[in-house]
A = this chain, B = another copy of it.
Amino acid sequence: MSAIYLPEDRYFNPACKEVALHLYGQVKHLPLVCPHGHVDPRLFSDPNYQFGTPTELFIIPDHYIFRMLYAQGIALEDLGVPRADGGPVEQDHRKIWQIFADNFYLFRGTPTGSWLNYSFYNVFAVQEKLTGDSAQAIYDQIADQLARPSFRPRALFDQFNVEVLTTTDAATDSLEHHRAIQESGWSGRILPTFRPDAVVNLDAPGWRQNLQALGERVGKAITSYKTFIEALENRRAFFRSMGATATDHAALTPYTTELNDQEAETIFQRALRGEASPDDAARFTGHMLMQMARMSVEDGLVMQLHVGSFRNHNSQMFERFGVDKGADIPVQTEYTRNLLPLLNRYGTDPRFSLILFTLDETSYGRELAPLAGHYPAVRLGPPWWFYDSLNGMAYFFDKVMETAGIYNTAGFNDDTRAFMSIPARHDVWRRAAANWVASLQVRGMIDMDDAEAMIHDLAYGLAKKAYKFA
């Protein structure tokens, strides 16, 4: 038997390990600030929510995990991933777990592997390394614990020391679960985030149905661009009343442009008739990003922009299993010219705050750090998705910080739907940040006072400030 290998001084470069451990020690017990993520609020609205089997918890819903097995030729059906048509998939969760364990070596040296080991060891007290041989015993051990009250989400929320956790919610969402949480008297702080992509992007699947749902939500049919804008303003006000401090927007590119009301109305009417062209959709999204910035100036919601993912690249998989199945592939992304209209209009407004994310690391030093190091409104979000990793973070620090300084960045966010992985992800960030700050300190670039101030801000303060958590 082999033990899970998680030495206390992990992820630190030997050359600065002593200082890194010192800095990490200063922040490892700080509360977790989680300003952007995808955890389902139902976990917390139902005080007795249970996670199901280990396979339901770790494998079936997590595309970080099953895409790696799929890449080696294992069918998603054999991993229990639900089909879009409801057709049969593997139902034996022990069998799925065995496949996962047999192939756990695929995650050697990957962030997913380290998150899993952290969760097994620190949350479930699993000592043994997951292999084909240890698979069923570990399944038993995790299943046994998941049945206990101490493994219900609210209990884990406290154990994980989460100070605030935000969800991501459609513009049409009732936020009933957030309301239930607030009314339950439980002290956990779970806040919504306004994400209107499904109604703002004319080419979103089911756009007209989404629009109808939005109309129902605001009690007024949306028949024009003008009523559309009013509905969005209405919903933003509702989200704010429910505690939201931010919005989030996804697009293939950060293209922005300003249409006049008549142009916007014309495109909107074409879309209502189902006649919008791809160019209409791109221009309308670019225009709506400007509108969202305008509304943020007015209502103070922090605007987040996540761009550069070519969604559902594998059409066979999309047809069979739907969205978010590990088939989204990044594309090169241009910010300097694309954001020019938006930044010229709102980038210097003291009421505006824009947090940028990228899947194109080449833009860090070339475009994003210079933009964040100039415009008062711009902050850079942490490494996203594939770059939420040790190397991704090290590269981010090296490429961004010299130009932007740390104070034009927005700290960390875990951006996960896997609640169980949250402590592991923050721990990687805190260690990576401690390692980076220590590498500056041991090379004589900053003194220890600055190092201690920086690690505190990176681990805790910057996220809290950027997202306006009082």
Q: Which residues of A contact B (CB under 8 A)?
A: 2, 5-7, 9-16, 67-68, 70-73, 105-111, 114, 129, 310, 313-317, 326-332, 334, 336-337, 340, 343-344, 347-348, 350, 359-362, 365-367, 369-376, 378, 386-387, 389-392, 395, 398-399, 401-408, 437, 440, 442-447, 449-450, 453-454
Contacts and interface: CB of A to CB of B under 8 A. Distances in A.
Contacts of A399: 391
A453 B15 contact: no
A13 B387 CA distance: 24
A344 B109 contact: no
Instruction: Enumerate the 4 nearest inter-chain pairs by beta-carbon distance, A residue then B residue, closest first.
Output: A10-B444, A5-B447, A7-B444, A14-B15
Number of copies: 3
Contact of A330 (B16, B336, B343): B336
A406 B109 contact: yes
Contacts of A405: 68, 106-110
A324 to B, nearest CB: 13
A348 to B, nearest CB: 6
Nearest to A400: B391
Contacts of A442: 14
A105 B453 contact: yes
Nearest to A439: B13
Contacts of A389: 402-403
Given A316-B344, A447-B5, A376 B70 contact: yes
Contacts of A332: 334, 362, 366
Given A108-B450, A337-B310, A374-B327, A390 B406 contact: no
A132 to B, nearest CB: 14
A20 to B, nearest CB: 11
Contacts of A108: 405-406, 446, 450, 453-454
B334 A10 contact: no
Contacts of A447: 2, 5, 129
26 contacts: A10-B445, A11-B445, A14-B15, A15-B15, A68-B373, A71-B374, A71-B408, A72-B408, A108-B405, A108-B406, A109-B454, A110-B402, A110-B403, A110-B405, A310-B336, A313-B374, A314-B344, A327-B374, A329-B336, A329-B370, A330-B366, A330-B367, A331-B336, A361-B362, A362-B366, A365-B387
B330 A105 contact: no
Q: Which of A13, A16, A359 lies at the interface centre, i.e. has the most chain B CB atoms within 10 A of its CB? A: A13
A16 B390 CA distance: 17
A13 B369 contact: no
